[in-house]
Amino acid sequence: MKKTTYHLSLAAALMAANPAFGLTAAPPSTGPADKAASDVIAYQITAELTAEVGHRQAGTQAEQRGRDWALKKLAKLGFANVREEKFMMPTWVRGAETAVITAPQKMELSIAALGNSGSTGAAALTGEIVYFQTFDDLVAAKDDQVKGKIIFIDHNMTATQDGSSYSYFGRARFQGPNVAAKKGALAILVRSAGTADHDHPHTGNTNFEAGVTPIPAAAVSNLDADKFVALYVKIRRPIAASLTLTPKNLGQQPSGNVIAQVTGSNSALPPVVIACHLDSWDLATGAFDDAAGCGIITAAASYIKNHGTPLRTIRILWAGAEEVGVWGGKDYAVQHAATPHALAMESDFGADRVWRVDFTLPEGAKPLQDRITRRLALLGIAPGRDKATGGADVGPIIAAQGLGVIDLQQDGSRYFEIHHNARDTIALIDKKQLQQNVVAWTIVLEELSNYAGELRPEIKP
Amino acid sequence: MKKTTYHLSLAAALMAANPAFGLTAAPPSTGPADKAASDVIAYQITAELTAEVGHRQAGTQAEQRGRDWALKKLAKLGFANVREEKFMMPTWVRGAETAVITAPQKMELSIAALGNSGSTGAAALTGEIVYFQTFDDLVAAKDDQVKGKIIFIDHNMTATQDGSSYSYFGRARFQGPNVAAKKGALAILVRSAGTADHDHPHTGNTNFEAGVTPIPAAAVSNLDADKFVALYVKIRRPIAASLTLTPKNLGQQPSGNVIAQVTGSNSALPPVVIACHLDSWDLATGAFDDAAGCGIITAAASYIKNHGTPLRTIRILWAGAEEVGVWGGKDYAVQHAATPHALAMESDFGADRVWRVDFTLPEGAKPLQDRITRRLALLGIAPGRDKATGGADVGPIIAAQGLGVIDLQQDGSRYFEIHHNARDTIALIDKKQLQQNVVAWTIVLEELSNYAGELRPEIKP
């Protein structure tokens, strides 16, 4: 591997250390981005939030403790206008969960209920497992192949740097339970939407259409899914299983966003909003998803703040209840509909290095885009070919106001080994890669917050 | 890493071995793709071509030996209408190449002249090296910073799965020498457009505008570029160097394409053309670039051929002279302008696994696209979000005829550690990943060659 995969390159370090050096025509890199190169704030936020609060499942007391922690932390870091904006959202919580193959031989499977799963009740549900190789095969199946059965959906998700395989292979989890329920299945097990062969099932939300009664739905760890499929191959006859899942719906519960800002000097300029999400799944402490994102954006904003007052306000949004339906992002767009925004960004794809940058900006902002591109290139980040689209939590405000967007795309090569399972802890965070994120974010925020031009692609200057 | 990263998954193997198995709705996978799962043809072609012919630089006798070998091999494999189509193209060959830092201390740099580089003459050129951190910095420099100097362009290219960083960081090599020459530079050295820290410089073509006299231009290995930059940081004053590059232009020389086909039963259907390139750079035997591509497409076509006569003809193009200006691809489009084609594909990004598939097809071919997508998903390949654009050699025929395109995107994570340098040999080929390519190609060719519908996106049915 190359020297500079996630470090600042020697050349960039040189420029940072000695702005007057050399004959290069590039503007000397001084200021907040230099400080970000030795950042510890992002790691501290990630470590403290995951250690002191633990998991932060949406709608629970744990998430409230996360908000309380965030309010204190953001105030302590010196941000302005630190506040909580509460909202109510439907809350589902995990209960007991066991799955056992009972014949032809006994085999326990590691499972995790999917968000919105129905309950089997305390008494185990028993039935025969029917195997489908892919989500599409389930869709194409006749009702009588499914009715009264426990469905198993297999698939072959592999790792991608851009994370693009999740949307395709993830359909087994996102939509599989709804399809199975409509065809009359008793329950459904899906191979985890993950790319590593470990014994930790990957949870995550699933969605049932209005009017469809949720059936018990769980993910099987990839290791146990392999064992199950091997058994199925060997015996080639129906497999009897016993399944217990006792999740509960708690009805409407409070969640909330935590908001803070770096106040710009020109109040006529609409703010840039930068987002992460504070909630996590309950199986781990959510270091990658998404404590690190909160650490990254907050660290970067703090370097801007500490360097002096920027022209434009940077608003920080630690969104609530992202995992279970983007409730915080939706609430933010409604609550702040009357405030024009300029541009939105989000960090919600783990803690590994930024490898690509995408833009959605007006033509008039081309010089700004070029300047950002040149500065990011020193970190090994190349411009992509796609339009920037933002993350889940800023999606509603982008759609409502037609905002500019910049996406600092993180390397997803190992994200789906960690995402939504018990391994999502501080132990797997790579500090060097986390720092590279903070430097990249600081560069972008420095440029954006000192740019007085139009950032919304559809507004004519 | 997951079990199925580049193997057929257990489940796919199961389906292949026992089509009647299970209750899945997927069509049983029988036929040519099953044979491809244990392919040895692609590896044999790669191994034999690189061992028996060696490098195959365009316009040289070595490339002619490659064509002779290809004609025999394709005939022996039983393809129809095996032939050579010659053309003439301007030919440049490497001479001596040394670069030495002479003061403040002596340091030899591993370099490789870039294709189209000028010559220093036999006597070394001496001068002062001026450092530019990026290609853009050179573009922005004033002429008097460049005039009479030896230019060094640094950059920080990092590995990407989709290879997208090459186009941005590669500008130092593609365009740097032309920019430097126009500003009056004596010569230019660029950090290799590569992502590994080894001592092997990456060659490749550079281009001078008409009317610009080529200056001596070479790439420095990344390891030596690191050493050079470290020295520059330390001493902070001009660095004297001595450079010898004695490449030659041989004028117009013969190159050629090698063409073969699997003849379809319905001659009214326009053919699908599948391409690789036979030429390579001269620093290695070109196993990844692009003997493996020729192995992959030819192996896949042979499984179709041996399974019976398809509806549609598959034309195989082993293009000549790709590296130095896509002369073979251009000649093919001219020579075959009168033959309507349906769709084009190319394999020219190494030998590692296919991770994504992109399509450019008409709306009416959606069922075909969905069928291909479903079959490829069993190999861990997900559909991408981009339009398929094809490779260099099929670019001219796609542009001329508005063809359909399918891109089986290969994993480029390690490609630029190997590409255009001495390490591009059979030793680094991963046989399992090579086989996965052949299976993917066989699936796509099986579907395309038995599809009678329109494949060109702009032709209304």
The one-digit pLDDT tens for each residue of chain B (461 residues) are 344 333 344 444 444 433 333 333 344 456 999 999 999 999 999 999 999 999 999 999 999 999 999 999 999 999 999 999 999 999 999 999 999 999 888 999 999 999 999 999 999 999 999 999 999 999 999 999 999 999 999 999 999 999 999 999 999 999 999 999 999 999 999 999 999 999 999 999 999 999 999 999 999 999 999 999 999 988 878 899 999 999 999 999 999 999 999 999 999 999 999 999 999 999 999 999 999 999 999 999 999 999 999 999 999 999 999 999 999 999 999 999 999 999 999 999 999 999 999 999 999 999 999 999 999 999 999 999 899 999 999 999 999 999 999 999 999 999 999 999 999 999 999 999 999 999 999 999 999 999 999 999 987 65
CB contact B375 to A (< 8 Å): no
Chain B 181-200, residues with CB within 8 Å of chain A CB atoms: 194-197
Question: C-alpha distances in angstroms, B218 versus A24, A307, B97, B98, B152?
Answer: 20, 42, 9, 10, 10
CB contact A137 to B (< 8 Å): yes
Average pLDDT, chain A: 93
pLDDT at A29: 52
Q: Is the pLDDT of residue A280 over 90?
A: yes
CATH tag, B10-92+251-449 = 3.40.630.10
CB contact A425 to B (< 8 Å): no
Chain A 404-423, residues with CB within 8 Å of chain B CB atoms: 413
Task: Name chain B contacts of A383, Cβ cutoff 8 Å.
Answer: 168
From the list B18, B132, B382, the residue facing A168 with the nearest CB is: B382
Identify the three-state secondary structure at position B394: coil
pLDDT at A90: 98
Which among A183, A230, A179, A165 is positioned nearest to A207, based on CA atoms?
Answer: A179
Chain B 96-135, residues with CB within 8 Å of chain A CB atoms: 130-134
| Contact call for residues A44 and A295 (beta carbons, < 8 A) | yes
pTM to 2 decimals?
0.93
Instruction: Let me know if the fold of B10-92+251-449 is the same as that of B95-246.
Output: no
CB contact A235 to B (< 8 Å): no
Q: Is the pLDDT of residue A161 over 60?
A: yes
**CB contact set of A379 (below 8 Å; sequence gap of 6+):** A8, A9, A12, A354, A436, A439, A440, A443, B156
Task: Name chain B contacts of A229, Cβ cutoff 8 Å.
Answer: 10-11, 14
From the list A9, A156, A384, the residue facing B164 with the nearest CB is: A384
Task: Name chain B contacts of A232, Cβ cutoff 8 Å.
Answer: 14, 22
CB-based contact B197 A1, cutoff 8 Å: yes
Give the pLDDT confidence of A354-412 residue by residue, as tens digits.
Answer: 999 999 999 999 999 999 999 999 999 999 989 999 999 999 999 999 999 999 999 99
**CB contact set of A2 (below 8 Å; sequence gap of 6+):** B157, B158, B159, B194, B195, B196, B197, B222, B417
Task: Name chain A contacts of B417, Cβ cutoff 8 Å.
Answer: 2
Query: Closest approach of chain B CAs to the CA of A282, in angstroms?
Result: 24
CB contact B383 to A (< 8 Å): yes
From the list A132, A195, A236, the residue facing B24 with the nearest CB is: A132
pLDDT at A361: 98
| Contact call for residues B191 and B219 (beta carbons, < 8 A) | yes
Token couple for A340: 């024009």
CB-based contact B226 A2, cutoff 8 Å: no
Domain boundaries, chain A: 10-92+251-449, 95-246
pLDDT at B460: 61
Query: Closest approach of chain A CAs to the CA of B308, in angstroms?
Result: 28
pLDDT at B432: 98
Query: Closest approach of chain A CAs to the CA of B357, in angstroms?
Result: 11
Question: C-alpha distances in angstroms, B255 versus B172, B319, B321, B323, B347?
Answer: 28, 9, 7, 12, 20
Strands (E), B269-313: 272-277
Give the residues across from A80 on adjacent strands: A261
CB-based contact A155 B196, cutoff 8 Å: no
Which of A19-28, A39-48, B37-46 is predicted with the least confidence, judged by mean pLDDT? A19-28
Which among B270, B283, B310 is positioned nearest to B403, based on CA atoms?
Answer: B270
CB-based contact A169 B382, cutoff 8 Å: yes
CB-based contact A159 B5, cutoff 8 Å: yes
DSSP 8-state assignment for residue B428:
G
User: Tokens 């106040």 identify what position?
Assistant: A263
CB-based contact A133 B230, cutoff 8 Å: no
C-alpha to C-alpha distance for A305 and A35, rounded to whole angstroms: 12
Strands (E), A214-330: 217-220, 239-245, 248-262, 272-277, 314-319
C-alpha to C-alpha distance for A380 and A284, rounded to whole angstroms: 31
C-alpha to C-alpha distance for B331 and B176, rounded to whole angstroms: 28
* AA identity, residue B97: E
Mean pLDDT along residues A344-357: 98
Q: Is the pLDDT of residue A6 over 80?
A: no
The residue of B24, B128, B165, B359 whose CB has the most chain A CBs within 10 angstroms, and thus the best one to mutate to test that interface, is B24
From the list B15, B25, B380, the residue facing A158 with the nearest CB is: B380
C-alpha to C-alpha distance for B5 and B432, rounded to whole angstroms: 10
CB contact A231 to B (< 8 Å): no
* AA identity, residue A77: L
CB contact B332 to A (< 8 Å): no
C-alpha to C-alpha distance for B230 and B377, rounded to whole angstroms: 47
C-alpha to C-alpha distance for B203 and B375, rounded to whole angstroms: 38
Task: Compute φ and ψ for B74, nearest 5 degrees.
Answer: -65, -35
Angle of helix A431-449 versus helix A292-307 axis, rounded to 10: 50
Task: Name chain B contacts of A386, Cβ cutoff 8 Å.
Answer: 385-386
Query: Closest approach of chain B CAs to the CA of A345, in angstroms?
Result: 21
- SS3 breakdown of chain B: % helix, strand, coil, rounded to 5? 35, 25, 40
Give the pLDDT confidence of A92-114 residue by residue, as tens digits.
Answer: 999 999 999 998 889 999 999 99
C-alpha to C-alpha distance for A228 and A131, rounded to whole angstroms: 10
Task: Name chain A contacts of B155, Cβ cutoff 8 Å.
Answer: 377
Mean pLDDT along residues A268-275: 98
The reply to whether ipTM tops 0.95 is no
Query: Which CATH number is B95-246's, of 3.40.190.10, 3.30.70.1070, 3.50.30.30, 3.30.565.10?
Result: 3.50.30.30
pLDDT at A30: 66
**CB contact set of A68 (below 8 Å; sequence gap of 6+):** none
